[in-house]
Amino acid sequence: MKELCFATNNRNKIAEVSQMLEGKYKLLSLEDIGCHEELAEDQDTLEGNSRQKAHYVWENYSVNCFADDTGLEVDALCGEPGVYSARYAGPQRSDTDNINKLLQSLQTHDNRRARFRTSITLYLDNQEYQFEGIVNGTIATEYKGNKGFGYDPVFIPEGHDRTFAEMSSEEKNAISHRGQAMQRLIQFLQAQ
């Protein structure tokens, strides 16, 4: 079984992606490869952040790896929080604080359209590849559901009447931004 490092310390993401890989690859975490430093995310695009993290792991650990960055882009907020989604309410990176700030920012807006976008950068044998996934939807007016993480309790994907946090992980992964990007990554790896 091939090994592939997912350049993240986010256990929720690792669990979600491990389920998507369905045992086809042995997924390694940063901890598994001995990387204990916080990876920088100081680029101004999702693509730039995913590239920065994957390149760092490849350069410093010589491990085939991929990294992602995800942003919630809200129409009424001119694309915010976007690349700052994880730290929208401050450096503490609190999901609750981020959601509360988002809901407060949208109080005076009727347009609640938004999209989740994930960019994945893969470093495989010193070659770089990028994959993207996008899901459109709307922002709920209040928290709904207790599954998932991040903005899942307030994001209702297009064509559905439940938030990601009200869906099972299988339902969410089948339609989510990260699920789409991961499927493109997996299809690419299978063709190698």
What positions carry a catalytic annotation?
A: 69
CA distance 99 to 87: 11
Q: Which residue is associated with the tokens 């209702």?
A: 156
For the chain, the first-to-last Cα distance in angstroms comes to 14
b (16+ CB within 10 A) / e for 55-92 = bbbbeebebbbbbbbbbbbbbbbeebbbbebbebbeee
Half-sphere exposure (CA, 13 Å, Cβ side) for 175?
A: 18
State how far the Cα of 190 lies from the Cα of 192, in Å rounded to an integer.
Answer: 5
Crossing angle between the packed helical segments 177-190 and 11-21, to the nearest 10 degrees: 50
**By 3-state DSSP, what share of the chain in percent is helix, strand and coil, each rounded to 5?**
35, 25, 40
Contact 85, 30 (CB under 8 A): no
Q: What is the rounded CA–CA span in Å between residue 123 and residue 108?
A: 43
